[in-house]
Structure 1
């Protein structure tokens, strides 16, 4: 049963794990490597990062029979068909972009930046007063935290994409809301897991590589980022037609001996002349942020992809798979085991809790890292020296247990150990609450909800084993004890305390998709229908309120049209029937277009010709929300009509056909009158 049609929430879940909860790998390529790839692709405007970025999606750009083995904390090995990663610029470059965005907002016209003169910056005195504020005389501008995305930019981008586009655009909206490379102290998903230096064997020497690494390590990283957790790795590319593999292996061993770094070798044929049929077209817009897309549009770059020879394409896919299996996953697993043994397990034990309090109260060690942590906390924490939270700049120091455990939970999400991640988030959430680190509390509450729902919707790798439906007590606890209170708290914190409403928007749309996913997997839409509708309506209202102030010349909103479509999908997919009775619904859908059966008139019996016939859905009436679904689709069509987008309107007619059918008998139907919404929309198409 595929009515109404819309984006499968399982696809949304897959995109969520790829675009948001996957390891971020930062790349730094030498100029010689950029020149080589420009020559290979015959494109002088392309960079090495743009070449590698789409290949991070190894679910799409895969190799035959690829498998990724992950050992979780319970020492159970699971095999996954894909393990997506995100390629981004090096961390210094990402931080410079963040600081540039923050500096551009100093004029005061933007509310995206957290500064000491604005309400979002935390101070100890303000916490004692129960409000968020900072001293204007402190002279410290605080840690810059920007919005995840610009709402007006998102609307502008969707308007550009919607032109002459008759496809469902909800996935585009979802991807752009969850895709970000912004570095923040309170979540580590955008903190690089590995730093890759890409060099060319012919033109780059070990000394050049050493200089790149030294310059990188000497960068003044934020105090919440632990560079010791970063795995530095080398990619070596070489011309297969000029050098033998023995020479490259010898060069790789020399790097290992002198720099103590592992290498992955990419053999390529630089001057291979292939026909158009021997080349693959690779997307250039994979995992792009809104700003990157708008920049591409403003520069009138019409090419959404690049051509690359099949041999080089296979080499990149194969070697990246080797890098992930041999180096990246083992590095992350080793770190998680280390943090679990040193930080988490002692914290869980009663003895560990006692000694952790003792260390905070009576610590007199000479460790420079610990001293810096404590001095920073005491200096900025005012009358609360027992907290390791820096109240002035809103972060925990990189070596503090609170920051390490947050990274432990985030990395567990990346390795798909959702239950372990949830339990870790719950533990550190209490510490954040005790320290009144509200931005950390809100972010951790978000991840408590997300990790719990990801665990509930995780598909069993063995298709013969059916996942049991959660009982009502479990569902009641998830809804009333976790989702409801956590969503209320984090929305208040992000919107009112921190003025970071886009973080709240992202949380709501993620929770909506995971709840839809849970509803369809277990056929329990009756449990989540109202909550999904509430969050979608909040999103639509908040977006509309913001756009009304910045786009006064327009009387329509593409975001509103797309969200109304999702409201219609949610209502249409809400079936209040037991799974074993779904066949009744199928009979209803397939029997709508049948001609009316002629009633046999019995002799002497009076037949009322004006009597309405028995509806086809008599057995399921009251168990569906098709009329409400059609209403939301009509409201969406109204927005598309105001934007003069006929292709989107025509696409949505199929989703209201069950309630407002198009046949000979419906020509004179009330809903086709010109003064009704549907009739008015149909007239605009003529």
Structure 2
């Protein structure tokens, strides 16, 4: 794949230097909780939902299986105070974890969307079971993880089974967003992501309620629960937009119940509502999608024989895409013998999270949660699997084959290339819209509305590429996105242009055999750079820009080798542009550290690793958590920094540079004071301090430091003593000091 040639290379902002990391600000006073940057407030706006609680996240932070075990790091005696921590864990967990979990999370975020259109009697039957949202709310959690293996064929006929496939159920009666969303509304979604993290972190990382001791953190899981929450929330922001079809319905469920007095007429009316009625999709959504008809039978009150006859009539009238779903209308409670708890929805938007209740990540109390009969759970799972395996997947495979043969092959041929050149230079041969538009672009793009109509070749090819991506045929999707990039640039469809560059690079990185040389990796970096520039400068789309940079960071990190340094640069770019809030700054600092820590040394040599850079960014993360008033997370970051710096430490565990040792001591002491003051203890009594920290090791270290100057006497020195001000006064000098260490 060649590097993009239809757009000029994008220069990074003046404040961003790829080789120089951002240095965190100096340590604040213990009672100073937040320090929001002006650029973040300008980008994200002031509409923050601070008063809305969050629903439980226990099912969404530890449900993915660990695919590969990581080797335990070299053990050494840490000099960082071991603070009591809550069940949240530390975002620095899993520095050398396998990347399969994060890759699976990214892939599952781009799942097919299935709309739900249920009759009034069906919703009423489900509400009797305790689901206020009706039939859509009942089946929504069961679509995110399809039981068993789903077999998918690619464009060349090869089949492969996937065990983590899923779909998203959406309510077609819900409000559809307009394509021209304001920049303020888009920025507020990032503020909501920060609010979700803030409320979740505040409800779990309370030092007074910590239930785990440091010994519980000797072996780390693969990924931080807090970072997985952030990544899920970021990937859940996207709604239905014209420039990408991932949130457009692939199919729709039309459901009636056995209580309906005119079932066939109701089904026809519901179909008409989705085709031309109040549930019709907008003009930029392709109206031809699969309809799947469901008859919900009431096991407690209706006759199964009558329902079977009606089901046979449905198959004769509407085809084989039908299903008979047998459910009980009585509400299930936890005391029932065959009760089963309803799984939690993993992919909830930040607004949905903020509108729920505050729950910790790990909660054994199940009061207030919905339950279903075991027979209902098995029936819904069988229905969802049949829908996906026998209807949705074959339909998508068929549409990709048809579009590839009828549209893409013509565009790839000599005649298609000639017509594309003619449209570019002469302004003719563009199909239904050959006239020049007001903006000077020629083609099918409607500048007045900002989108392509659903039947235009550009929109069909984008839908084909997205279908191939969701079917995990990344080779076909990458070639199709590459085919579209020049067309979108010629038409000045900048949001389409940015999306094509972004998803082309993502498809190449997800394809195991796509990247083989350094030259191709440079081309991927150029694609991400162009996409980020178009999102921010031409479209003012901060959420998609942050998604682009985050995907670049995680997928390049999973490649290993020299790609991890590019991943670290994209994470620094996101922080430099102010796309993340204070909590995001801490999380991204840790991801930069994780990227550098993943760089393995040259085979047979001791050089080539980036552990000192990783340790430096762990120190920056500790400072970020301390400014947020989270001493336990800051303590964990310092422990990780000491582990990464193990090769340069002296025999007594101190740094060879006195200035750097002083800086680490100041930060460590500030963490200790913050923790103790949160517990209401007197930090001037060293004996009480050692007992409060709860480890003999900390007591020994306090004894060794009795002759050192105490920072408690002068509280002004706590935030700015000596080298602690160095990173703010002279960034390059501080970076050089860390590198020499």
| Common topology (TM > 0.5) | yes
- 1:215 corresponds, among 255, 273, 285, to 273
| Pair 1:57-2:144 in alignment | yes
Q: Residue 187 of structure 1 aligns with which residue? A: 244
Distance 1:303 1:478 in 2: 53
Matched, 1:33 2:122: yes
Query: What is the aligned counterpart of 1:269 among 328, 331, 353?
Result: 328
Distance in 2, Cα, partners of 1:299 & 1:98: 33
1:161, distance to aligned residue in structure 2 (A)? 0.7
Q: How far did 1:657 drift?
A: 4.1
Q: Give the structure 1 partner of residue 158 of structure 2.
A: 76
Kindly indicate whether residue 135 of structure 2 is the aligned counterpart of residue 48 of structure 1: yes
Offset, 1:652: 3.5
CA distance in 2, matches of 1:653, 1:511: 27
Task: State the Cα deviation string for residues 529-588 of structure 1 (Å, max 9, x = none).
Answer: 3211111111112236x75xxxxxxxxx1111111111111122211233xx5xxxxxxx
Kindly indicate whether residue 573 of structure 2 is the aligned counterpart of residue 564 of structure 1.
no
SS of residue in 1 equivalent to 2:517: helix
Show the counterpart of 2:602.
577
Picking from 281, 286, 300, the partner of 1:226 is: 286
Structure with bigger RCO (C-alpha 8 Å, 6+ apart): 2
Q: CA, structure 1 residues 72+149, in 2 after alignment: closer, same or farther (shift >3 Å)?
A: farther
Alignment of 1:148-159 (within 5 A): 150-159=189-198
Q: Distance in 1 between matches of 2:382 and 2:578?
A: 43
| Structure 2 match to 1:479 | 521
Unaligned runs of 5+ in 1: 106-110, 113-145, 365-369, 459-469, 548-556, 582-618
Higher helix fraction: Structure 1 or Structure 2? 1
The answer to whether 1:421 aligns with 2:502 is no
CA distance in 2, matches of 1:638, 1:344: 52
Counterpart secondary structure, 1:88: strand
> Equivalents in 2 of 1:187, 1:278: separation in Å?
43
- Choose from 435, 460, 464 the match for 1:378: 435
Task: Give 1:10's match in structure 2, choosing from 95, 100, 107.
Answer: 100
- Which residue does the alignment assign to 1:394? 450
Give the match for residue 628 of structure 1.
613
Which residue of 447, 450, 453 corresponds with 2:509? 453
SS of structure 2 residue aligned to 1:574: coil
Cα distance in 1 for residues equivalent to 2:332 and 2:357:
31
The count of residues paired between Structure 1 and Structure 2 equals 553
TM-score where L is the length of structure 2: 0.68
Q: CA deviation at 1:10?
A: 1.9
The 1:67/1:284 distance shift into structure 2, 3 A limit, reads closer
Q: What is the Cα deviation at residue 298 of structure 1?
A: 9.2
* Change in CA separation of 1:181 and 1:415 when aligned onto 2, cut-off 3 Å: same
Alpha-carbon shift at residue 304 of structure 1 (Å):
8.3
Cα distance in 2, alignment partners of residues 565 and 356 from structure 1: 46
Q: Which runs of 5+ in 2 are unaligned?
A: 1-70, 74-91, 206-223, 361-365, 677-741
Question: How far, CA to CA, are the matches of 2:197 and 2:456 in structure 1?
Answer: 42
Distance 1:645 1:382, change over 3 A: closer
Equivalent residues in 2 for 1:283-432 (5 A)? 283-297=343-357, 305-354=369-418, 373-374=432-433, 378=435, 380-381=437-438, 386-432=442-488
- Shift in Å at residue 232 of structure 1? 1.2
Choose which of 640, 643, 649 in structure 1 pairs with 2:625. Answer: 640
Query: Conserved in 1, the CA contact under 8 Å of 2:192 and 2:350?
Result: yes
Q: State the distance in 2 between where 1:500 and 1:34 align.
A: 37
| 3-state SS of 1:378 partner | coil
When residues 564 and 358 of structure 1 are mapped into structure 2, their CA distance, relative to the original with a 3 A threshold, is: closer
**1:234-259 Cα distance to aligned partner (Å, 9 max, x none):** 22211234455553332123224445
CA deviation profile, 1:36-90 (whole Å, cap 9, x unmatched):
33333xx36443322222211225xx2xxx2222122111222222421111121
Give the equivalent residue in structure 2 for 1:607.
none
Rounded to whole Å, the distance in 2 between the matches of 1:355 and 1:558 is 50
> TM-score under structure 1 normalisation?
0.73
Aligned residue for 2:342, secondary structure, equals strand
Segment drifting more, 2-11 vs 662-671: 662-671
Alpha-carbon distance change, 181 to 500 in structure 1, aligned in 2, over 3 angstroms: closer
CA RMSD of aligned residues (A): 3.4
CA-to-partner distance for each residue in 1:314-352, whole Å, 9 max, x for gaps?
111111111111111111111111111111112222244
**TM-superposed deviation, 1:190:** 0.8
CA contact (8 A) 1:674 1:683 kept: no
1-side partners of 2:667 and 2:457: how far apart? 59
